[in-house]
Chains A and B, each alone.
Chain A
Amino acid sequence: MKAVMYACPQSLDEAVGLFAQRGPRARPFAGGTDLIVQIREGKKEPDLVVDLKRIPELNELSFQPQRGLVIGAAVPCSQIYEHGKIAGLYPGLIDAVSLIGGIQIQNRATLGGNLCNASPAADGVPPLIVHRAACRIRGPRGERTLPVEKVCAGPGQTALEDDEILVSFHLPAPPERSGARYLRFIPRNEMDIAVAGAASYLELEKDRQTIRGARIALAAVAPTPLLVEEAGGCLAGERAGEELFARAAAICREAARPISDMRGAAWQRRHLVEVLVKRTLQGALQRARGGGASPQGRPGGVNDGPQGRPGGVKEQDS
C-alpha cells in the first residue's frame, strides 16, 4: 500500500484549508471502505488522507419538522437505521442503508462516501434522489448547494472540485401520505453490488388513490444513478394501479442505458429495471397509504429484494 500522510481536522475550516493546499493529492476519508481498498490496489494514489470523522457538521444526524432531515456526510449507515425517527419518515432510504454491504460495512460506510465514490451502482443514491436530497458542499470559495442527482457526473466522477468537501445531505420533511421504497437485484443474498436497482417515491392526494407526485430513480443502468423525471411525471394526477405502474416501468426501461459486464447483460438489466420499478411503486404506494412494508433497518431485517438464486430461499421479515 502506498505511503500516505494522515490528518484529522477538528473543524470544517481546517479541512477546507487542507484541501485548498493539497488539491487532488488529498482525499477525503470517512468510512474508508472504498478508499483503503482503492489505495491498496493502486487505483487512487493520494499522498494525504483527510479523516473527516471528527468534524461536527459531517456528523450531524437530526430531524426537525420544519428543517427536515440532515445527514452529515460522515455518518455511518448503521447510525441512520438505528435512529428512531428516520425509519418511519424516510423508509426508502432505510431500505438502502440496511443493505449496503454487511453489518461491518454498515458500521463504517457513509452516504457521503457512497455518493462521492460515484459508482453507478451506489445503493444509497437513488433513494436520496427520490427523497429530494440537497447536498451542502464547502470549498475555499465558499459554500454551494446541489441536488444530489447533479453531483454524480460519471463512473468515479462527481461535480465536486478537488478542493471541495461534501458536508451534509438535506432532505425535506416528507409530506403526509407519502412513501418510498428501494429494491435492488443481486444474485446473492447479501454483500453484493447491484445488477440493477430502483427507488420509487409516491405522494398521494387525500383520497389515497390519486397520485399527487412521484419520483423514480435507477441504479446501475447508466453511467450515473439516473432520475427518470418522465416516469414520475406520467404518474402525477393519475389513479394508482398496476397498469399505470407498468407504464412508468416501461418508460424507465427505455430511459435505462445499461452496459453488459460481469454482473449482468444489458438486456437483463433493462428487464430488471422494469420489474423493480413496478415492485418499488407498489411498495411506495403501500407505505404512502400507511400500511405495512416497514423498512428492514434493524438487525433482523433481511434484504428482501428479489432473489435470483435458483431455488434460493426468500426471507421476509415480519
Chain B
Amino acid sequence: MSEESKKPPAPSSASPEASGRFSRRWFLQGVALSAGTAVLPGEGLLGGSAFAAPQAPARIGPEPVQIALSVNGKDYQVKVEPRVTLLNALRNYLNLGTNTPIDLTGTKRVCDRGSCGSCTVILDGKTVYSCSVLAVECQGKKITTVEGVAEGNQPHPIQQAFVECDGLMCGFCTPGFIVSSKALLDRNPHPTPTEIRRALNGNICRCGTYNRVFQAVELASIRMKVKGG
C-alpha cells in the first residue's frame, strides 16, 4: 500500500501505478481509451528484433509501454511503465485493453520486498517472487500463477491435499505455497520430506502451519504417484 498511498491524486487518465487510484471504476473508464492502443516504438526491442546500432540501444519508459505477457497459457497485451513489477502487472494491469474483466488476484502482495513468498509465480519453470521481477522483463516467458495450477474446474491434487490436510489458517500465504509446491512436484514428483522443506524455504507462513503444508505436499505426491503422475 505504501508507495501508492503517498502519491497525490492524479488525473483519471494516468496509469494506475502513477495515480494510486486503481479501481474497478478506473478500469471501466480505461477500457474504452486503451482498447485500440497502437504498437509503441519500444516493443520491438524486447522481442529481440533487429537492433543494429550497438552504440545507442533504445531505452523504454518511464512512460507506459505495451508488452505481451503469457500468463497461464494465455497471451495478454499489457501497457505498463517499466517500474511496474510482475506482481503489480498481474493483479492490476491484465484487464486493460480488454472488454472482459480478468481476475488474476490470487498472487498476493504481502511484504512487497522479496521476503515472504506470497507472490510466488513460476517463470519459465522456476519459482520467483513476482514482486521482485519487472513486468517488462517477462516478455516471451511463460508465467504460471496460482490460477493456472488447477486443471479446469478440478483442483490440482496439491490444492485438494491442502484442503484435506488443513494446510492453512488465515490462508494468505497459501497461493505462494501452492505455486512453490507445484513447481517442486513438476520437477521432482516424489520428493523426500527434506526436499519438500527445501523447496518451500522461500515461503513464510505467519500462522505457522508448516507441518500441515508439508503433509499436504506429501499427500499430493502420493496421490499423483497412484494416478501414475
Contact = CB atoms under 8 A, between A and B. Distances in A.
A104 B117 contact: yes
Interface residues of A, number: 48
A107 B133 CA distance: 11
Interface of A: 1-11, 13-15, 17-18, 21, 31-33, 36-37, 39-41, 47-49, 51, 53-54, 78, 101-105, 107-108, 189-191, 299-302, 315, 317
Contacts of A102: 117, 201-203
Nearest to B116: A191
Nearest to A39: B83
A178 B56 CA distance: 46
Given A39-B83, A40-B113, A78-B126, A6 B60 contact: yes
29 contacts: A3-B62, A5-B60, A6-B61, A6-B134, A7-B57, A9-B57, A10-B57, A13-B54, A33-B114, A33-B129, A36-B114, A36-B133, A36-B134, A37-B113, A37-B114, A37-B132, A54-B48, A101-B202, A102-B202, A103-B200, A103-B201, A104-B202, A105-B129, A107-B126, A107-B127, A108-B128, A299-B184, A302-B194, A315-B194
- A-B complex: 7 closest residue pairs judged by Cβ atoms: A102-B202, A6-B82, A3-B62, A300-B195, A190-B201, A107-B126, A104-B202
A64 to B, nearest CB: 27
B41 to A, nearest CB: 13
Q: For chain A, what secondary structure do more than half of its interface residues adopt (helix, strand, loop), or is it mixed?
A: loop
Contacts of A10: 48, 51, 57
A251 B137 CA distance: 47
A2 B51 CA distance: 28
A210 B180 CA distance: 46
B81 A3 contact: yes
A191 B204 contact: yes
A107 to B, nearest CB: 4
Interface residues of B, number: 53
B145 to A, nearest CB: 14
Given A5-B82, A191-B201, 6 more contacts: A7-B60, A9-B57, A32-B133, A32-B134, A301-B198, A317-B194
Contacts of A41: 113
B191 interface: yes
B57 A1 contact: no
Contact of B195 (A2, A101, A299): A299
Given A6-B82, A8-B46, A108 B132 contact: yes
B3 interface: yes
A165 to B, nearest CB: 14
Contact of B59 (A39, A48, A103, A107): A48
B83 A3 contact: yes
Given A103-B198, A191-B204, A4 B62 contact: yes
A300 B204 CA distance: 18
A101 to B, nearest CB: 7
Contacts of A108: 128-129, 132-133
Contact of A36 (B60, B81, B85, B203): B85
B90 to A, nearest CB: 15
Contacts of B18: 3
B91 interface: no
Nearest to A51: B137
Contact of A107 (B51, B128, B197): B128
A17 B55 contact: yes
Given A14-B55, A108-B132, A103 B194 contact: no
B82 to A, nearest CB: 4
